[in-house]
Amino acid sequence: MDFFRDNARRFAFFESHAPGRGLRRGQVGALHALAAHFCAETEPAVISLPTGYGKTAVMAGTCFALQARRVLLIVPSAALRGQAARTFRSLDVLVRHGTFSLEEGQLPVVSTLDSRATSADEWFAHADSDIVIATPHAASPALADAVAPPEGFFDLLLMDEGHHAPAKTWESLIRSLPKAKHTLFTATPYRLDGVKLPGRLVFYYPLKRAVEEQAFGRVNFESVEIPQHASREEIDNALVTRAVQVFERDRAAGHEHRMLIRCGRVEASTRLAAKYVAAGLLVESVSSQLSPRRVEAIETRLRDGELDGIVCVDMFGEGYDFPQFKIAVLHDAHRSLVPTLQFIGRFARTNGIRTGDATFIAAPRELDSESDELYKSGVQWDLLIANVADARQQLALRQEENVRSFREGGRPSADYDSVDTRHLLLPHHIAVYAARRPPEGFDSLKKIGGLEVVKRWDSVDHDASLFLTRDLDTPAWSRGRDIIDVRHDLVLVRFFPETQMLFVTATLRTERLYSSLVGHLCNGDASKVSFARLRKVLNGLEQQEFFNIGLRNTSPVATTESYRIVAGSQADRGVRDTDGATYCQGHFFGRGEIDGTSELIGASSGGRVWSNGKSSLPETLRWMTTLHARISAVNVNIGRSGLDRLPFGEGLTELPSDTVSADWSRDTYRTNPTVVLGQDAPRRGCVLDLSITDIRVSNNRQSLQFAVGDDDVSRRVKFSPNHIPQYTADAGQPAIFIENRDGRGLPVEEWLNDEPLVFYTSQLNTFTGKTLNRRTQSPGARVGRTLELDWHGCEIQVEFDNQDGQRRTVQRHLQEHLLAQPDNDFIIYDHRSGEAADFVVGRRGNDGRYDIGLFHCKGAGGALPSGERVDDVYELVGQAVKSVRYQVLDELKQHVKRRTQANRNGGVSPFIHGTREAALDILEALQPIDLRLTVNCVQPGLSVAALDPRLRMIMAAANDSVAAQQSSLVWILSP
């Protein structure tokens, strides 16, 4: 016992330039790095040395350098277990280089764990051993019937081929020995699946430097040319023929070379072995189907020279040290770079006796893999392999540095101490904000939206923070707290101080989460980046083509196509020159090329950028850096595509002072969620029955306020486009909640941050969030139809009077006019919150179509001359344009059904002519094409003969917008 500790003084890890003396430069560096690491750290250490560079000598030296008491060495296979046992029993890898002075009788006690340890006693049976060598299959406590080593039994754990460490069986060994030092040895400290190794890479020795030290022999590639339409049989025969020629050439040169013949399937190995035997070579096939004793016997015959080679799939590969392997025949090549490099390393060793250069034989036409660049005639493999491997490793090192720049911030929950950022994946979806102050308050951030922050990592290098969040809630189908749903999400925030842009990506993408996070970190002093700026993510991309684009109708209310989505391999080619008058860009998703590399990219007017898939933290940071460089670039080259035919909206810096109306989002009309009004005696209803009124733009034009509610309950909400969240409300106001699909209520202002309103101006320009879309008025637009009505005896300044039903108000006067028309089938008085119009009138047209007339009334405002009543027109314009949606038959039917049915809240729109049953029968019998809508704006304060130019412009814009939706607009004025 204590062999390594007691004999540490007799081990000298020094470098010598004398041939055969001392350790190599990289081996010495690895031992020094390990000693330094464990002086300051306890996390596992990862050592990366090139394949064949003498890793076994470093593992043996580690036992002395760390003065281990008892060592557990994990190797991936039984063959390597036997090989490692022979090495440690003799310590020849140290003795022959003079780094360990061997005294008689002084060798470590080495034992192997040949079968699974199912009890502590089976571990204690190795109490007299200095080093125990095992495979994960025998030692891993992750296996059902296995038992972990007793606590403190080992003080050093070595893992050969440590890139397997993330596997469950390997990782459980690390966790089962928390007090031991853990060291992972591998030639490839990166994995194809992107999973990072547990621990820290403390030493990496470049393969190119090992080549320069002549630690590897030359590796030549022999390309076997195959006819284009050759069969599998013909390809195999050609490879066998060339392999026999190379083997006989090397044997004639006096080399004791062996062949390793690789195939892709176990069943093919026997067939190929027969071909080589028929060609005059002594070859056997080896597979996992043979017993360990049979495999060991074949290995012995191979080492003793009784066999010229073996045929296998992947046996005798990883970590296997047999310097006589110098000829490789690839009937099936590895598809990826990592196993290719490991495989090649078996043949590049220089510690063999009577060996020469290695030769690889393959048919390039059969190759289609990550490694196909290696298989080209004339390639100097020893240098090319070094360059490829080192480039791949440098990328892995940079990623590791990025990950390690994130340090735990705040006080993590004990339940989440083991979370490793190297295992996390983030979506390629980024919300981009313009922040007017650096983010702060990370320590006080306990919740993001409704999500509890359970852990945080901060990176000073990247001005970034990563949050792990948790949501604990009862399912929507349970009223108790006995069942809890748990959901975890990631949120990454990165700030670019030079441009004051804030990037956020999250695994749960809701506006509420984004608003809560940015609102806290920037105290609300931030806003979404406008689409005009965000579309610069296309900067530098050539050969652009888009296969999904969104065209947003610039009309405030678009019933036929409020948002057109065009999909296809070249969707942007379908944009017409005339579309720019009606639509603007809403989103795009497509591809382009930059520096010869193809890239997928998308962006939307909602301040979002995305691509496909998920990636690791370092890759996400790199993608953010790329996008930021494009968005903030001074010199911009967007490229050309069909999107150029569409306007893309302007960045909104100040709110238009003539903002006159607002409407719900298109999704709100589709879903019509439930609203709960009031708190003491709450009433339930529909969002579409609420009204948005009394819009007032602030003097500095940085915010506006409006009222949302019905006739009884109204809540004042503030909209600030340059603030996060954009919609807020003061405390103490009447409660209005919107129910989500899961039945949970959100204050209306929080819900509006997810479903933002569409505001529009007197000119019917629209804006949502930070983007203003100007509509293009058709050439020669006109006011539209005007009708004169005799208003004699009417109090034209009074629209309605709920207290006196006989008073001659504008509505009363119009009602009598409508009742006097004989052809009307029904008249609905819909004047209340959420109305389609004050009056809804239906009658059959002379051409067989069915006419629906919507009448919006407005009293004359003040004593101004009729030609100057601009304010009187604004509200009518907003009502008229919003009501165009009822030219869609389903929209109209649903509205009439809902509004004319009495409910327990007492709200009902009565029929003043006709009946509900008859009206619904008429509407149900119609086909969508039968409906014809006419919107009537009633304003007795205006005269047909005297309309101010400003009024004409506003009225023409309204007529143009209504006409674009295949409806008619009529102005009912005074003579």
Model confidence pLDDT, tens digit, residues 129-166: 999 999 999 999 988 889 999 999 999 999 998 888 88
What count of other Cβ atoms lies within 10 Å of the Cβ of residue 635? 6
Helix ranges, 586-635 (H): 617-631
Region 838-861: mean pLDDT is 93
Beta-carbon count within 10 A of 560 CB: 13
**Which residues face 974 on adjacent strands?**
943
Tokens of 139: 């030692």
Over the stretch 487-506, which tens digit does the pLDDT of each residue have? 899 999 999 999 999 999 99
Q: Going by C-beta distance under 8 Å and a sequence separation of 6 or more, which residues neighbour residue 104?
A: none
Q: pLDDT value at position 20?
A: 54
Give the model's pLDDT for residue 320.
Answer: 61
Confidence (pLDDT) at 852: 97
Size of the chain in residues? 975
681-690: average pLDDT: 88
Long-range Cβ contact pairs of 98-107 (< 8 A, separation 24 or more): 98/16, 98/21, 98/22, 99/11, 99/12, 99/13, 99/14, 99/22, 99/23, 99/57, 99/61, 100/7, 100/10, 100/11, 100/12, 100/64, 101/10, 103/10, 106/3, 106/7, 107/3
CA angle 773, 776, 781 (to 5 degrees): 140
- What's the confidence (pLDDT) of residue 411? 54
Model confidence at 943, pLDDT cuts 50, 70, 90, reads: confident
Residue-level pLDDT at 348: 60
The whole-number pLDDT of residue 644 equals 81
Lowest mean pLDDT among 396-405, 663-672, 761-770: 396-405
- Residue 138, token pair as written in the block: 């025998």
**What one-letter code names the amino acid at 173?**
L
**895 or 667, higher pLDDT:** 895
Mean pLDDT estimate for the chain:
85
CA–CA–CA angle 459, 460, 463 (5° rounding): 80
Least confident of 679-688, 897-906, 915-924: 897-906
What's residue 17's pLDDT? 45
pLDDT of residue 13 exceeding 70, the answer is: no
CA 500, CA 386: separation in Å to the nearest integer?
42
What confidence score (pLDDT) does residue 6 get? 87
Per DSSP, 468 falls in state: E
